[in-house]
Structures are given as C-alpha cells and as structure tokens.
Amino acid sequence: SPKALAVTQSNLRNADRFSDISVHGDLGKATNNAIPVSVDLKSMPGQHLKIGAGYSTDIGPNAAIIYDNYNAFDQAQHIRVSILAAQLNRNASVTYSWPVGARLGSEYIAQGSYQNQNLTAYNANEILASAGRQWSLRSDNSLGKSETIEALVNFENANYNVAGQFNTSFYIYPSVQYSIQNFRDILRPIAGYTLTARIDGASKVWGSDANFIRFSAQGEWRKRLGQNWVLGTRAKLGAMWLTGSIGELPPNLRFFAGGQNSLPGYAYQSQGPLAVDGAVEGGRLLAVGGFDIQRFVAKNWAVVAFYDVGNAFNSWSSFRALQDIGLGVRWYSPVGPIRFDLAHPLVAPQTPAVRVAFSVGFSL
C-alpha cells in the first residue's frame, strides 16, 4: 500500500544511515495480488560530520556540529558528539549506545553533557551523566507505531541563579520513561497520537541534596475531520513531592511554563510561581493544555488557529491560568512539518505583544 511504502521510506530516512533512498512499487508488474517493490539505497560513510545553523524561537539563532560513528569498534555501536551554540543555550554532549537483543531500538546507553542556559527566568550551568538501558516494544504489525521504555541512573551537578538566589546542588536520581508514538505518517502528523511520561526520584540517603519524586507527562492527539480539516489537542502535566525549599532544585527539575510547545504567547520557561521579590522561581506543579484547528488550502499547506491555557504553580489554590491565542501556517515538507505561528498572550500581556514561533520537523 502507499502507506506502507511511505512508512518504509520514512524509517530508512530516520535511520540516518543512507544518503539516498528510493522505495518504489511497480503496479505494472502486479501478479496474483502481489506487487514487486524495489528499495534502492546509497550508504553514508560509517563516520560522518554534520554542520548546520538555524533559528529557534525558544533559544534564538544557533549553530551545531554533530559527529556520528555508527560502527564503533566494528560492533554496530554508536558514538555521537554534539555541540550546540545558541543565543540562550550552549550544550556539548557525548552519547554512546550499543544494541542488545534482536529488536531494533533496544540498547544500552551512556551519556554525558554540559549545558549553559541564560533564559528570562534563570541562568544555569549543569553537568549531567547518565547510564542505563532502553527497551523497544515496537510491534512489526504496526507500521507507524513506536514504543519504548528507558531506565537510567542520572548524576547531576549544577550551579544556578533563579530569582536572584545563587545556589549549587548535586543529585543522583534514577528515572524511568515510557514513550509511545503512533502517527500514520510521521512526516505528515495529522492523524494519530504521541505520549511521553517520566518519573524521577532522589534521596539524601544516596548523596542527593534533597528528597524528591517528580512526575511529568506530555502528549498530543490529532484527528482528521474530513478532507481539509484537522483537529489537534495537546497537554503537559507535572507534579512533584519535595522535602525542603524549591531553591534546592536546579531549574531543569522545577516546572516552568512558556515557549513554543507550552504557551507560545510567552517567552520560553518564563512563567511560574513567584519568589518574595516577585521574580519567577518555578514550581512543583504544571498544567498546560491547548487545541488547534487546521484548514488545508493546498495539498501540503494549511492555516491554523490555536488556543492555549495553563501555568506552573505550587498549589491549586494559587493556580493562575495564563492564556494565549494565535494564527499560523503549516507546510508539510519532505523533511517534516514546518511551523510558523504568531501568538498573543491574553493574560498578563508581555513584550512583545505578538510572539513569533517557528520550527522545522515534528516536536512536542
């Protein structure tokens, strides 16, 4: 079927192993309900370097260098070195993964990274090391569905300035993450759903600065309404139990709202509970949701209207719902959806009054 051919081509492209891909069914040679399919591939080198530049609404202009070795030690093990330099975020990371078992996507993982962020609400430097295992639950009978469970042990050392308070912290925390994605076509995600849920926990018993249990989840669901209309809904949720002050947690473990995939009418990670001096310090809870309606005006072009509501907070009694509305354009290109949105905050107007949100490819 055309769907199966498209999924096969998409999977081969996402494998990042081939420089040229062609998947073609020859209807003229169909015999006894069987259609011959040709798959023509041109391999990339086992090692290759990628250099690119771009723009993200959340972190500004950026440049990246990525080195991949897909056959380390002649064992099909993968080493990736990535360096990102952006206006608001600098990141360097090394990831080492090696396959285990017969199912594609099941592997051991070891990674280390350094990140420097200078955002509206905070500045932070974080060193993170993780090691663990990923299991693929993918069914060969479901062409567009992928499902994984990842279990890691994380070591994090950070220094940060949030709401005018300088602090340092060290944490050892295990994490378990479940992810499922089921779109008919990942390059054209207009029918299907995706969900990611994660739980982390730390204890002073094994050397962490505070005890906490943290849960987070985000998801999206889309349904085609007739030939030209698509309805989409999305949500982000978070909750945390913590002994002590939230000032003991680095920013990446607190909850903030704002940004392209949260509340696009507000700056990235700029919203949440306030400290005594009125500056945003992040919270223990998060609830953000929204919906959009798309209208196709051509085969691969659509206009969209959207609405979002929510915030980060510390208790339901102190919850202050922020809201935004917006209009945008979608181009479903050969490399995935390209989004251009204009968003306006309805509560606590920000500067600028209209924010631009732009992205390339599928993202939550």
What whole-number distance in Å separates Cα of residue 47 and Cα of residue 110?
Answer: 19
pLDDT exceeds 70 at position 142:
no
Same domain assignment for residues 36 and 153: no
Same domain assignment for residues 28 and 119: no
With respect to residue 165, please indicate whether it lies within any of the assigned structural domains.
yes
Strands (E), the chain: 18-25, 37-43, 47-56, 60-72, 77-86, 89-99, 107-118, 122-136, 145-162, 165-183, 192-202, 212-225, 229-242, 285-296, 301-313, 322-333, 336-345, 355-360
Name the residue among 149, 138, 150 with its Cα closest to residue 11: 138
Residue 364 has what pLDDT?
43
With respect to residue 244, please indicate whether it lies within any of the assigned structural domains.
yes
Same domain assignment for residues 242 and 174: yes
With respect to residue 94, please indicate whether it lies within any of the assigned structural domains.
no
Q: Report residue 5's pLDDT band, with 50, 70 and 90 as the boundaries.
A: confident
Same domain assignment for residues 148 and 36: no
Same domain assignment for residues 184 and 256: yes
Residue 24, domain extent: 1-44
Same domain assignment for residues 30 and 113: no
Kindly give, in sequence order, each residue whose CB lies less than 8 Å from that of residue 166, ignoring residues fewer than 6 positions away.
159, 160
Of 44, 60, 79, the position where a domain reaches its end is 44
With respect to residue 74, please indicate whether it lies within any of the assigned structural domains.
no
pTM (2 d.p.): 0.86
pLDDT exceeds 80 at position 350:
no
Q: Report residue 316's pLDDT band, with 50, 70 and 90 as the boundaries.
A: very high
Q: Report residue 143's pLDDT band, with 50, 70 and 90 as the boundaries.
A: low
Same domain assignment for residues 192 and 338: yes
Only one residue has tokens 């993982």, namely 109
How many domains would you assign to the chain?
2
With respect to residue 93, please indicate whether it lies within any of the assigned structural domains.
no
Same domain assignment for residues 5 and 124: no
With respect to residue 343, please indicate whether it lies within any of the assigned structural domains.
yes
Q: Which residue has the higher pLDDT, 364 or 199?
A: 199
User: Residue 272: which CATH number?
Assistant: 2.40.160.50
What whole-number distance in Å separates Cα of residue 181 and Cα of residue 148?
Answer: 9
What whole-number distance in Å separates Cα of residue 233 and Cα of residue 215?
Answer: 21
With respect to residue 186, please indicate whether it lies within any of the assigned structural domains.
yes
- Using DSSP's 3-state secondary structure scheme, residue 12 falls into helix
Candidate from 70-74, 192-196, 255-259 with smallest mean pLDDT: 70-74
Residue 79 has what pLDDT?
96
With respect to residue 53, please indicate whether it lies within any of the assigned structural domains.
no
Dump pLDDT digits (tens) for 213-241.
Answer: 999 999 999 999 988 999 999 999 999 99
Mean of the pLDDT values across residues 82-103? 92
Same domain assignment for residues 27 and 160: no
Count CA atoms closer than 13 A to 308's CA, side-chain side: 26
